Structure 1
Amino acid sequence: MAGRRARTGRGWDASPPRAGDTTPRPRRGRPAAESEAAPRGEAGSGREAAPPRDEAEVAREICLRQLAVRPRTRAELAGALARRGISEEAATEVLDRYDEVGIIDDAAFARAWVTSRHAGRGLARRALANELRQRGVDGDTASEALGELDETTEAETARALVERKLRTARGEPDAVFRRLVGMLARKGYPPGVAIRAVKDALAAQSAEAAEFAEQIDADALTAAETEIDR
């Protein structure tokens, strides 16, 4: 119909073409220049690809991100770098430098770990030694840190753990005794420390528990448990 615009798939043609005119008429919509723009990063975009980053710089960033979460041992950081594909040469360079300036210090890590895990979780030296070994702390460094946790402190912590558990413990004295000794064993306490801590705590709890505790031969049980461990 004359005077009406013809609708196309992409827009409106404002007027009918004149006779003999074969020139494509622009349509409203997305400009051709925009639709034909070169993809980002290709020639003609005015942007050049970034040069490859120095491997040591990448290694430092990985280490700092790891250390921002919590202190790490050298072995832990070396493992993180290896998993990210950092070469052994670059990792050694960065970790040696961090050793020099004190950013990583396995001895300080071990001391702090022993103090915090004993106070917070009540872990004994045997359990703490296992955790330090899993984190790559060498035996001499771990032994030095564990030496700061003496037997008296360990026994006092075991007794405190038992007393806290006894407040909510239910069942016959013999069942409670076994559960509490097992709890201390899982935290790394040796049989003698665990058995004596539970016996003493039961003796102070009630008459029934005290009577049961009197029947416990701590030395004999300790010897038996030690033999089983071997």
Structure 2
Amino acid sequence: MDPAERAREIALRLLDHSPRSAAQLHEGLMKREVDAETADLIVERYIEVGLLDDAALAAAITRTRHRERGLSRRAVAEELRRKGIGAEDAEAALAQISSDDERVAARELAEQRWQRLASHDARTRARRVASMLARKGYSPSLAFEVVRELERADNGGESV
């Protein structure tokens, strides 16, 4: 089989498995011992014909990670970087998430976790909720602000 044809088949199999960035496809081809020049040509051609679109991929990842998993902009930005999405495409995608969106998502996640931890003391609940928000990429200041709001709500509006 022609090496270029073999490389195209590998590329199509990789893309059939899951959407990939141009960098991920290039890396996948290189791992499968496709020479760099052929990998470059395939990636360029697939971008040209629309099989690879880093901007669209970044936008989709941003939407799903934020809305479905509750990840912060910072956590989504890190995932986009790991996937080889360029800074310009990542910034455009991350612009979908406003500070208000991020705060609402943090609050919703925190409320759900807070309710599941109802059998624990306030200190344990606060620590676990703040830790969960940190793992999702939220800043410590936002995490503790949301926790204080939940504590106040539990105490009938009184400050803790």
Match of 1:110 among 53, 58, 77: 58
2:36 is aligned to: 88
1:70 has 2:18 as partner: yes
> What is aligned with 2:122?
173
**Runs of at least 5 residues in structure 2 that lack an aligned partner in the other structure:** none
- TM-fit CA distance, 1:138: 1.7
Distance 1:188 1:140 in 2: 21
Pairwise CA distance, 1:203: 2.1
Shift of 1:199: 1.7
Q: 3-state SS of the aligned residue for 1:121?
A: coil
Q: Aligned residue pairs: how many?
A: 159
TM-score under structure 1 normalisation? 0.66
Query: Which residue is equivalent to 1:159?
Result: 107
Which of structures 1 and 2 has the bigger CA Rg?
1
Alignment RMSD (CA, Å)? 1.4
Q: Within 2, Cα distance between the matches of 1:185 and 1:106?
A: 28
* CA drift at 1:200: 1.5
2:78 corresponding residue in structure 1: 130
SS of the counterpart of 1:177? helix
Matched, 1:189 2:138: yes
Aligned equivalents of 1:198, 1:111: Cα separation in 2: 30
- Residue 140 of structure 1: CA displacement? 2.1
Alpha-carbon distance, 1:195 to partner: 1.5
Q: Distance in 1 between matches of 2:42 and 2:79?
A: 25
How far off its partner does 1:173 sit? Answer: 0.9
Q: Deviations over 1:43-80 (max 9, x none)?
A: xxxxxxxxxx1122111111111111221001111111
Query: Counterpart of 1:78 in 2: which secondary structure?
Result: helix
Q: Which is richer in helix? A: 2
Q: Which runs of 5 or more structure 1 residues have no equivalent in the other structure?
A: 1-52, 216-230
How far did 1:194 drift? Answer: 1.3
- Output the CA distance in 1 between the equivalents of 2:151 and 2:52: 45
Q: Which amino acid aligns with 1:173?
A: A
- Secondary structure in 2 matching 1:71: coil
Distance 1:135 1:119 in 2: 19
TM-score after normalising by structure 2? 0.93
CA distance in 2, matches of 1:69, 1:119: 23
Higher relative contact order (CA 8 A, sep 6+): 2
- Per-residue CA shift, 1:71-125, capped at 9, x if unaligned? 1001111111011100011111111110101110111110000001111211001
| AA in 1 matched with 2:133 | L
Equivalent in the alignment of 1:149: 97
Letter in 2 for 1:78: H
